[in-house]
């Protein structure tokens, strides 16, 4: 998987130390020149380009070949610009660090990407999203003939944009029950009118993996 990470050096190092970098092709752009040598200890491609120059994402990098963009700078506007550009270039998965809470709704309404609002959870969120692409269903356990799955939604899933109650009504015909919802790794209340969005995680009871196709396509 081709991943582009643009961020503060300390955060980039933290993310890389938690990822299996050898399993992916990772390009890194740091927002500062401090401690960049620490990035070089990982098996990644460190790009010597300006993260604030629009030409970086428009012409210097082939964004069409990128699968995931992670914008983790401490400048909300810069992260927003990076992900907006990635959206226009067709990058399927876009993750942005936000420090201003009001931006979360903007990200979701305009489908800019996954908004992550805390440094401490961005790495776990990234890993969940990356793993959801490689392994869309995570088996958590079983009860008699029922299995408990954790399903992470992505933009490509057919249930995106639909209300939870409508998806549940269809899913129950396939023997699927939604028993819980997680957002940024935390349980949230089941609101029947909730519009399903990328990054949301569903706790699903089902008899087999094939039945989950109604959610994941």
Pinpoint the residues of the chain covered by CATH 3.30.70.1450: 137-216
Quote the tokens at residue 123. 């790495």
pLDDT of amino acid 55: 93
Length of the chain equals 217
Contact 86, 113 (CB under 8 A): yes
Of 47-51, 168-172, 207-211, the one with minimum mean pLDDT is: 207-211
Q: What is residue 214's predicted lDDT score, i.e. its pLDDT?
A: 76
Mean pLDDT of the chain: 84
Give the pLDDT of residue 92.
Answer: 79
Q: Which CATH architecture has domain 137-216?
A: 2-Layer Sandwich (3.30)
Enter the CATH code of domain 2-134: 3.40.50.720
Residue 149 CA to residue 202 CA, distance in Å, equals 8
Asked if 55 contacts 63 with a C-beta cutoff of 8 angstroms, the reply is no
Say whether pLDDT at 186 is over 90. Answer: no
The three-state (H, E, C) secondary structure of 65-79, written as one string: HCCEEEEECCCHHHH
Tokens 């799955």 locate to: 149
**For 35-136, where are the alpha helices, taking DSSP H only?**
54-55, 76-88, 103-109, 119-134
pLDDT for res 10 = 86
Radius of gyration for the chain, computed over Cα atoms and rounded to the nearest angstrom = 18
For the chain, where are the E strands, in sequence order?
Answer: 2-7, 25-30, 45-46, 68-72, 93-97, 114-116, 137-143, 146-152, 177-183, 186-188, 201-206
Which band of pLDDT confidence, cut at 50, 70 and 90, is reported for residue 195? very high
pLDDT at 127 exceeding the cut of 90: no
For the whole model, what pTM was predicted?
Answer: 0.65
Location of each CATH 3.40.50.720 domain in the chain: 2-134
């Amino acid at each position: 998987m081709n991943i582009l990470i643009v961020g503060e050096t300390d955060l980039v190092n933290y993310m890389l130390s938690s990822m299996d970098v050898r399993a992916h092709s990772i390009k890194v752009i740091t927002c500062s020149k401090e401690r960049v040598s620490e990035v070089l200890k990982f098996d990644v491609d460190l790009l010597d380009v300006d993260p604030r120059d629009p030409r970086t994402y428009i012409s210097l990098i082939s964004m069409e070949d990128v699968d995931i963009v992670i914008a983790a700078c401490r400048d909300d506007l810069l992260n927003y610009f990076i992900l907006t550009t990635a959206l226009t270039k067709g990058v399927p998965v876009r993750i942005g660090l936000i420090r201003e809470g009001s931006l979360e709704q903007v990200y979701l309404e305009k489908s800019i990407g996954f908004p992550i609002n805390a440094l401490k959870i961005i790495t776990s969120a990234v890993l969940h999203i990356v793993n959801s692409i490689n392994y869309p269903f995570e088996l958590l356990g079983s009860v008699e003939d029922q299995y408990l799955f954790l399903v992470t939604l992505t933009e490509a899933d057919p249930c995106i944009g639909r209300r939870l109650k409508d998806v549940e009504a269809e899913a129950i015909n396939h023997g699927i029950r939604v028993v819980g919802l997680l957002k940024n790794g935390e349980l949230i209340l089941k609101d029947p009118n909730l519009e399903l969005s990328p990054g949301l995680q569903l706790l699903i009871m089902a008899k087999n993996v094939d039945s989950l196709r109604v959610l994941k396509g």
